[in-house]
Amino acid sequence: MSRPRKSAETPQACEVVCREREVAEIYRLANKGVNVVLAGDPDVGKTAVLNAVYERFANGRHTGRKLAFFRSYGNKRDIDESLFAASFHHGDVVVPDLKEQNYEGHCKGNLAELERRVISAVQSSEEPYLFFVDGMDKVEKSGFTFFRKLLDTGKVSIVATCRKKSFEGANVKDLFSTFDRINLRPLNDQAVGVLVDHMVEEHDIEVTEEDLAEIKRKLPRVVAGRPGAIVQKFQRALKERRLDVRALIEDFPIAPGKFVYAGWMSAGLFGCALGYRYFLRVTGDPADLVMGGIIMAAALIFFRVLKGAS
């Protein structure tokens, strides 16, 4: 199917499709001054949802509140650079787009001073702040202290993203103890189909109805409901707006959670089978021979399942 070309949104922005309920709930809580943490596994769309909430505040009515966005993506420098921007533009919506020499000249080795300036600006402000922090679990230990100091001013509320498994850490657990937690779960098969349609429509992708139906049928199992994985697959499979369908629905790394049990079960059964083989050399009992064969067959079946999930 072919459509007129239009200006498409970024691929990552597509990850927020079918997340309207989560965006609305986080916006409602944050608008009341409630601290919120959005938790989830990798590639479920945490950053896309956080961006959508931020844009709703930035483009809507949020009178009496100042916004700041701290982007991390696993890079401490990005947090520091956002802090550098906030220290000079604490009354504005922060977009860290400052010149390299300015950042290096003022921030290198002087992070504590920047944190002090931001806290001072918050304390002296007549209006409260709403901070968005992407990847809070990737912030270093001193960063948690800084954000706790901000919360202690009584003038800051925070909306943050965090990997679900990181809640086991003491720093994360302590900081988020008073936050409302929203868990971002993988998309169901129907929602994956909606996201696929959106990707095809938004990016003017040429694909036949038959191929589109096959993608919708097979892709949910391949990506395990992760919007980020869907976007990655589309980006890899796209060639001049035409989809390599085979690349889209095959040869993707095993999805976490849904099929991992197959790997553990296969390894366990294979170990049992090897044990029985060793035991048979000693006893030679026919019943043991049959049981060893059954275990080996089960192991092969689980290996097949694992291969199909990858």
pLDDT tens for residues 287-300? 666 666 676 677 66
For 244, how many CA atoms within 13 A lie in the half-sphere containing its CB?
11
Residue 157's pLDDT is 92
Residue 303 pLDDT grade (very low, low, confident, very high; cuts 50, 70, 90): low
pLDDT value for 276: 61
pLDDT for position 81: 61
- The better pLDDT of the pair 152, 73 is held by 152
Question: Looking at residue 91, what is its pLDDT?
Answer: 41
- The arithmetic mean of pLDDT across residues 12-30, rounded, is 85
Quick one: pLDDT band at residue 11, thresholds 50, 70, 90?
low
CATH superfamily placement of domain 19-183: P-loop containing nucleotide triphosphate hydrolases (3.40.50.300)
Listed in sequence order, the residues at least 6 apart from 236 whose beta carbon sits closer than 8 Å to its beta carbon are: 247, 248
Question: Residue 229's pLDDT is what?
Answer: 79
Greater confidence, 14 or 183? 183
* Percent of the chain predicted with pLDDT > 70: 57
What does the pLDDT read at residue 100? 42
> Could you tell me which residue, 299 or 226, shows the higher pLDDT?
226
Provide the pLDDT confidence category of residue 23 given band limits of 50, 70 and 90: very high
DSSP string of the chain, one letter each residue? -------PPPGGGGGGTT-HHHHHHHHHHHHTT--EEEEE-TTSSHHHHHHHHHHHHHHS--TT-EEEEEE-TT-HHHHHHHHHHHHH-TTS-------HHHHHHHHTT-HHHHHHHHHHHHHH-SS-EEEEEETGGGS-HHHHHHHHHHHHTTSEEEEEEEEGGGGGSHHHHHHGGGSEEEE-PPP-HHHHHHHHHHHHHHTT-B--HHHHHHHHHHHHHHHTT-HHHHHHHHHHHEETTEE-HHHHHSS-PPPTTTTHHHHHHHHHHHHHHHHHHHHHHHH--HHHHHHHHHHHHHHHHHHHHHHHH-
- Residues 249-259: pLDDT tens digits? 664 444 444 44
Mean pLDDT over each residue of the chain, to the nearest integer: 72
pTM, two decimal places? 0.66
- Give the start-to-end residue ranges of the domains of the chain: 19-183, 189-249, 260-309
In terms of DSSP bridges, do strands 242-243 and 238-239 run parallel, antiparallel, or are they unpaired?
A: antiparallel
Task: Specify the pLDDT at position 101.
Answer: 39
